[in-house]
Structure 1
Amino acid sequence: MKTFVTYFHKRKEEKKMIVVKHVVVAEIPLLEMVESDIDHQKLPTVLFYHGWGSCKESAMVNGYELAKQGFRAVLPEAYLHGERKEGTLNEEAYMEFWQVVAHSIEEFPTLTDYYISKGLTDPNRIGVTGLSMGGITTCALLTQYPSIKTAVCLMGSPAPVLFSRWLLNSSWAEGLNIDEANYQAELEQLKPIDLSLQPEKIAGRYLHFWHGTADNTVPYQPTLDFYERVINEQPEAAKHVSFTSTKGAGHKVPYESSVEMATFFAKRL
């Protein structure tokens, strides 16, 4: 483990220091951000998942906002990204997108078990969040792990099957040689992690969505449609689901939305 940078911020009129640590858990590199004076305490912990083609360092502003709220923020490096990169990610790597998401889902308990075993994470106060691919991962994790108490999806999708179909009909996929049989088989594999197909798995947990209305990378409307459907058709399971948007915003999370995300966890985790 290596502590390599610190940030300062003020809270309650006191100067606090946030430490940023580089940690490797079972060959998974991550950044951990936490206030120095509570570093060794058992804390509510939030995992933040970065987007496609990015890296854990790109998510540090989000980790910083979470740490300011007294959380232990854990920023994993996604499979095939950053320190785990094995080559160049490009459009031909479409089929690898869901492999990356699958790795994050599989690795989630490895990371949480590590921090719980060290006495650093409260097992009853674990949250997940992420942007774009990380938002997709966040929603998928809710289908698999009831231990997650609170989640925030930033410009992601709760419907990987629908999103995958949209991708293959978008300009992004032009020129790709997709085998139809393999593609249909992949759609079947996505169904178990598709929150839109099993919204009852929200199970009354706190779940917040933010999405820009002009997002052309992960479309805004399907996520809004999901939100409106679940609060009407699954009122008990979705009683704590909320949604905000930024008019005209594209595929980029504004700083204000990162603050909103951290504030949501402060109130709901």
Structure 2
Amino acid sequence: MITVKHESINGIPLLEVVLTERVNETLPTVIFYHGWTNLKESSLVHGYEIAKKGFRALIPEAYLHGERSEGTPVNERSLEFWDVVQHNIVEFPMIVDHYVKAGLTDQKRVGVSGLSMGGMTTSAILTQYPWLKTAVVLMGSPSPISFSKWLLTSKWQTGAEINLESDQFAPAIESLKMISLDLQPEKINGKFVHFWHDEDDDLVPYQPTFDFYKKIKDQDYGRHVSFTTTGSYGHHVPYMISIETAEFFNRHL
């Protein structure tokens, strides 16, 4: 059986998904981040598949989402997209530390994954925490600056036209450089990292992510990076990719 528990860690609501008979064991742990405008509950299928392999899966509620909503609907707050990602990045080690201190997480076997915005969170976390063992990026861009420029001309954007080249946004663009995996791919450092993206995705473009993979796959630091391409699913993670994600962690975490 699988146990799903609702927890709150330092004010961060999350779902803990784990095999019932292993609830109190020290386990390798995967933190899985949901997408923009989604809820933690929407990622339970991924948590289930990961937990079935013997891992502790933790699915946090992102800032401004679900239980952490603050007034204006998040889909009307597109300019705060990267603020949400930054919260995820800062909160990641806090969640890990809590579970390590509780004796429930093996600190040497921590993985991260996520879809869409959660995939971008995953790429960003790879630039910040060298102790992370492995990661799976689902339809998330490793290039936050170029994605931001595309984002503001896409169907994600509502409201007035915004020019990211203006001086007003210079500090924000500068801050994104620190979490840009495309600008510091050497931080992958030989880790097993897997990307999945669908060619027909119209919300997070496929080609830039695939180009990033082609650029790094023959480098020493990228020798264990892999990529799965599908077609016809668009911006939706099919069940078979949830299974593939869990199997990847089973091999490498």
Structural mapping, 1:169-188, within 5 Å:
169-173=153-157, 175-178=159-162, 180-188=166-174
Which 5+ residue runs of structure 1 have no aligned equivalent? 1-16
CA distance in 2, matches of 1:107, 1:173: 26
Partner residue in 2 for 1:228: 214
Q: Alignment partner for residue 231 of structure 2, among 231, 234, 247? A: 247
CA distance in 2, matches of 1:125, 1:204: 15
Query: Which letter maps to 2:146?
Result: L
Which 5+ residue runs of structure 2 have no aligned equivalent? none
Q: Alignment partner for residue 159 of structure 1, among 134, 143, 149? A: 143
Query: Which letter maps to 1:109?
Result: P
Query: Which letter maps to 1:200?
Result: E
Deviation at 1:186, TM superposition (A): 1.2
Partner residue in 1 for 2:127: 143
Q: Alignment partner for residue 63 of structure 1, among 28, 38, 47? A: 47
Partner residue in 1 for 2:96: 112
Q: Residue 194 in 1 paired to residue 194 in 2?
A: no
CA distance in 2, matches of 1:182, 1:76: 32
* SS at structure 1 position matched to 2:3: strand
Deviation at 1:242, TM superposition (A): 0.2
CA contact (8 A) 2:78 2:156 kept: no
1:137-191 Cα offsets, whole Å, 9 max, x none, are: 0000000001110100000011111101111233543642436323232111100
Deviation at 1:38, TM superposition (A): 1.1
CA distance in 2, matches of 1:216, 1:265: 28
Deviation at 1:211, TM superposition (A): 0.5
CA distance in 1, matches of 2:29, 2:158: 40
How many residues were matched structurally?
Answer: 251
Deviation at 1:26, TM superposition (A): 0.5
CA distance in 2, matches of 1:145, 1:96: 23
Deviation at 1:62, TM superposition (A): 0.3
Structural mapping, 1:200-211, within 5 Å:
200-211=186-197
CA distance in 2, matches of 1:221, 1:18: 37
Partner residue in 2 for 1:39: 23
The alpha-carbon distance between structure 1 residues 174 and 264, as it changes in their structure 2 partners (threshold 3 A), is: same
CA distance in 2, matches of 1:182, 1:49: 30
The alpha-carbon distance between structure 1 residues 91 and 62, as it changes in their structure 2 partners (threshold 3 A), is: closer
CA distance in 2, matches of 1:175, 1:100: 19
CA contact (8 A) 1:152 1:208 kept: yes
Q: TM-score, normalization: structure 1?
A: 0.90
Structural mapping, 1:4-153, within 5 Å:
17-90=1-74, 92-153=76-137
CA contact (8 A) 1:214 1:250 kept: yes
CA contact (8 A) 1:92 1:176 kept: no
* SS at structure 2 position matched to 1:260: helix
CA contact (8 A) 2:142 2:209 kept: yes
Q: Percent identity?
A: 56
* SS at structure 1 position matched to 2:222: coil
Query: Which letter maps to 1:76?
Result: P
CA distance in 1, matches of 2:47, 2:66: 17
Deviation at 1:92, TM superposition (A): 4.0
